[in-house]
């Protein structure tokens, strides 16, 4: 079964320090990988995605993520955290195709709450 | 980026009434729209996928007669919660994806609708 794991319910970081939000996946083949951020009572905002090529993907608001095929991981990172980065972060994966030829579903992790302290 | 709107942003209704939630893609044509449900501090649960002009595909365990989905145009999908009960209270989020055969296309999410059934 396909799944996405975000092992940390919450990550606490001091402002200005680097942050990492972890994500591992279990999906057959080479999936597409995404990160989304959700602020309170809002929908999800797209941060970045990995399709192919360079393992380091740069996205919005200074975030980046590193794809590691051998470890099936796609950790989200930022060199210097801001208080305004405090939010709920979701990792998501989608397989490249299904047997019917249609789009695969986007599978979300449980989410990690990032708290950046001044 | 692409914008997806939802209306209303919140609604309170009496048990037994029906509630309609609208989801619109404002600046792109969404060939596929998705409806998610999110419980407090939990991830998004996909309820159904709809393609313009065809019937929605519901996920296992989601009652199609209770959650009516209509995707009448490339920019509008509606979710109607029929005969709502308190257990239907939740945060409902729609998402839209533009056309194309590439599964790497990201989904754009609406801001969500908080439904409270008294």
Residues B11-23 pLDDT 10s: 999 999 999 999 9
Token pair, residue B93, equals 């989020």
Is A5 within 8 Å of chain B by CB? Answer: no
- Chain B positions with Cβ closer than 8 Å to A: 1, 4, 6, 32, 34, 41-44, 46, 49, 91, 93, 95, 97, 103-104, 106-112, 114
Q: If you compute the radius of gyration of chain A from its CA atoms, what whole number of angstroms results?
A: 14
What is the torsion angle, in degrees rounded to the nearest 10, for the CA atoms of residue A48, residue A51, residue A54 and residue A60?
Answer: -10
Q: Which residues contact B102 (CB under 8 A, 6 or more apart)?
A: none
Nearest-CA distance from B52 to chain A in Å?
Answer: 14
Q: What is the mean pLDDT of residues B76-94?
A: 95
Interface of A with B in 31-50 (CB under 8 A): 32, 34, 36, 41-46, 49
What is the torsion angle, in degrees rounded to the nearest 10, for the CA atoms of residue A75, residue A95, residue B51 and residue B117?
Answer: -50
Mean of per-residue pLDDT scores for chain A: 90
Question: How far lies A10's CA from each of A78, A86, A91, A93, B77, in Å?
Answer: 16, 10, 14, 20, 34
Q: What is the DSSP letter of A17?
A: S
Q: What is the mean pLDDT of residues A2-27?
A: 94
Q: What is the pLDDT of residues A52-61, one digit of tens each?
A: 888 999 999 9
Q: Say how many CB pairs under 8 Å bridge A and B.
A: 57
Instruction: Answer yes or no: do B1 and A46 touch at CB < 8 A.
Output: yes
């Amino acid at each position: 079964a396909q799944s996405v794991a975000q092992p940390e319910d919450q990550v606490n970081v001091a402002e200005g320090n680097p942050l990492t939000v972890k994500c591992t996946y279990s999906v057959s083949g080479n999936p597409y990988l995404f990160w989304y951020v959700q602020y309170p009572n809002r929908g999800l905002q797209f941060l970045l995605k990995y399709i192919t090529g360079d393992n380091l993907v740069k996205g919005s608001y200074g975030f980046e993520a590193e794809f590691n095929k051998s470890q099936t991981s796609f950790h989200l990172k930022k060199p210097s955290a801001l208080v305004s980065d405090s939010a709920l972060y979701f990792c998501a994966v989608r397989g490249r195709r299904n047997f019917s030829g249609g789009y695969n579903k986007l599978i979300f992790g449980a989410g990690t709450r990032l708290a950046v302290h001044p | 980026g692409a914008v997806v709107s939802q209306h209303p942003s919140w609604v309170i209704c009496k048990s037994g009434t029906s509630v309609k939630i609208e989801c619109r893609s404002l600046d792109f044509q969404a060939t596929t729209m998705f409806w998610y449900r999110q419980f407090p501090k939990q991830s998004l649960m996909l309820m159904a996928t709809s393609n313009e002009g065809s019937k929605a595909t519901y996920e296992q365990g989601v009652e199609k007669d209770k959650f009516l989905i209509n995707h009448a145009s490339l920019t509008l999908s509606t979710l109607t919660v029929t005969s709502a009960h308190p257990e239907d209270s939740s945060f409902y989020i729609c998402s839209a994806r533009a056309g194309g055969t590439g599964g790497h296309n990201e989904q754009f999410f609406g801001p969500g609708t908080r439904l409270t059934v008294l």
